[in-house]
């Protein structure tokens, strides 16, 4: 039997969360030799995900440095991949999404003339500096990739408009697959403060905010809005796992530190976050992944950005683009807290991002591409409500 060697390359926590179920699916296939290469762009947070999913790496570049820059991440990944690819000689490299690891991993594969499969392909804002550097990373990988695994039909349409080379498959998003493993009704938090929260009687808002384009005044305005929301709603509490960035932490402490009912905690792992989302009232975030994860659990999302590369959730009604302006954030949060019909409309909208079978579709597509399967996998189609 012909066997192909597929190497998954990732280096950040969000990539690891979304690639873990795919690595597990590939390992089940008898005609695929699945390898895992970590760059270590994020170290502790990456290791935590690997432990939760019980994965091990075949290669680890361990590139993380203090005060690393985009240039240092990219060059260290390129140099590290040189030796790995020469030794492993994979038939296909899989990269995910839009990080510097994603771009550098794809570029390294291109230099070795190894085909690239892009998981979570086709997301676009069409503003090369927002999100930065993600928009350009994923666009450049789209020009390199031979296989494009688009989560939604809209993502696939973006790729077709750009006339990318290679084959496009609509798969759903692998993060929905990941949540089958992480969310449990009997889950007990490792962060004891979360176990003490009364999720049944209090309105708990899960908050994340860390993007570079929100540094400075936008982040101050976001946190001022959060403070106002808590001060005017005695039954509301906010849980904010504060990003390790010194810029973010300083701003969070300045605007939210010492506030009763605002819980500033250290970053939490994927199991903690998924189970926090499952129990919270709604989510406020500038993250990309949470825009996909929260709707899968029936939780409304207010996106703290000026634009989103995930417009499907806005169209479906699970997400609202709150922007970074104080007044708008307060207005939309108040509507969710004070108007049950607004909340119910968002909470019961159909999740457009997947049915939990994205990894199976991707693995089937890889087998089909290499002639190991006779039928092309069916495309994911979101339900229409």
User: Taking each helix axis from N to C terminus, what angle separates 326-338 and 217-231, rounded to the nearest 10 degrees?
Assistant: 30
- C-alpha to C-alpha distance for 48 and 225, rounded to whole angstroms: 32
* Cα angle 333, 337, 341; round to 5: 105
Tell how strand 236-241 and strand 4-10 pair up: unpaired
Closest CA to 7 of 138, 119, 135: 119
Asked if 134 is an active-site residue, the reply is: yes
Question: Per the residue annotation, which of 212, 233, 249, 261 is the catalytic one?
Answer: 212
Question: Per the residue annotation, which of 15, 120, 255, 309 is the catalytic one?
Answer: 120
Question: Per the residue annotation, which of 15, 25, 60, 98 is the catalytic one?
Answer: 98
**Cβ-contact 101, 73 below 8 angstroms:** yes
- C-alpha to C-alpha distance for 110 and 346, rounded to whole angstroms: 42
B/e letters for 272-300, b = 16+ CB within 10 Å, e = fewer, are bbbbbbbbbbbbbbbbbbbbbbbbbbebb
Asked if 224 is an active-site residue, the reply is: no
Dihedral Cα 117, 118, 121, 122, nearest 10 deg: -70
Asked if 307 is an active-site residue, the reply is: no
* Cα angle 282, 287, 288; round to 5: 105
Question: Per the residue annotation, which of 15, 25, 60, 134 is the catalytic one?
Answer: 134
- C-alpha to C-alpha distance for 253 and 147, rounded to whole angstroms: 44
Asked if 167 is an active-site residue, the reply is: no
What are the tokens at 254? 């300045």
Provide DSSP, 324-378.
Answer: S-HHHHHHHHHHHHH-HHHHHHHHTSPPTT--S-HHHHHHHHHHHHTTS-SSPPP
Question: Per the residue annotation, which of 202, 220, 233, 243 is the catalytic one?
Answer: 243
**Cβ-contact 284, 207 below 8 angstroms:** yes
- C-alpha to C-alpha distance for 164 and 40, rounded to whole angstroms: 29
Query: Which residues form the catalytic set?
Result: 98, 120, 134, 210, 212, 243
């Amino acid at each position: 039997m012909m066997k192909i060697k597929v190497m998954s390359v990732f280096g950040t926590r969000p990539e690891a969360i979304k690639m873990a179920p795919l690595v597990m699916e590939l390992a089940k296939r008898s005609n695929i030799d699945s390898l895992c290469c970590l760059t270590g762009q994020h170290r502790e947070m990456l290791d935590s995900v690997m432990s939760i999913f019980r994965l091990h790496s075949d290669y680890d570049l361990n590139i993380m440095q203090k005060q690393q820059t985009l240039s240092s991440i990219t060059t260290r990944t390129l140099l590290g991949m040189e030796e790995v690819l020469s030794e492993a000689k994979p038939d296909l490299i899989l990269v995910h999404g839009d990080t510097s690891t994603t771009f550098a991993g794809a570029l390294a594969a291109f230099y070795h003339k190894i085909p690239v499969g892009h998981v979570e392909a086709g997301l676009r804002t069409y503003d090369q500096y927002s999100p930065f550097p993600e928009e350009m990373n994923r666009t450049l990988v789209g020009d390199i990739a031979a296989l494009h695994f688009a989560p939604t039909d809209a993502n696939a349409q973006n790729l077709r408009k750009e006339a990318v080379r290679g084959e496009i498959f609509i798969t759903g998003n692998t993060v929905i697959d990941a949540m089958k493993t992480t969310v449990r009704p009997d889950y007990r938090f490792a962060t004891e403060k979360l176990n003490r929260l009364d999720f049944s009687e209090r309105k708990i808002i899960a908050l994340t905010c860390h993007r570079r384009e929100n540094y400075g005044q936008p982040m101050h305005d976001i946190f001022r809005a959060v403070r106002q929301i808590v001060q005017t709603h005695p039954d509301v509490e906010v849980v904010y796992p504060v990003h390790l960035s010194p810029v973010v932490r300083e701003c969070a402490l300045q605007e939210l530190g010492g506030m009763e009912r605002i819980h500033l905690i250290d970053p939490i792992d994927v199991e903690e976050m998924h189970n926090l989302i499952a129990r919270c009232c709604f989510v406020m975030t500038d993250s990309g992944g949470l825009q996909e994860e929260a709707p899968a659990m029936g939780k409304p999302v207010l996106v703290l950005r000026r634009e989103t590369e995930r417009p499907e959730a806005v169209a479906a009604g699970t997400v609202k683009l709150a922007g970074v302006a104080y007044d708008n954030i307060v207005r939309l949060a108040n509507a969710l807290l004070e108007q049950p019909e607004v909340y119910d409309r968002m909470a019961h909208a159909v999740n457009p991002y997947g049915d939990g079978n994205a990894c199976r579709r991707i693995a089937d597509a890889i087998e089909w591409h290499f002639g190991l399967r006779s039928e092309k996998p069916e495309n994911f189609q979101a339900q229409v409500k």
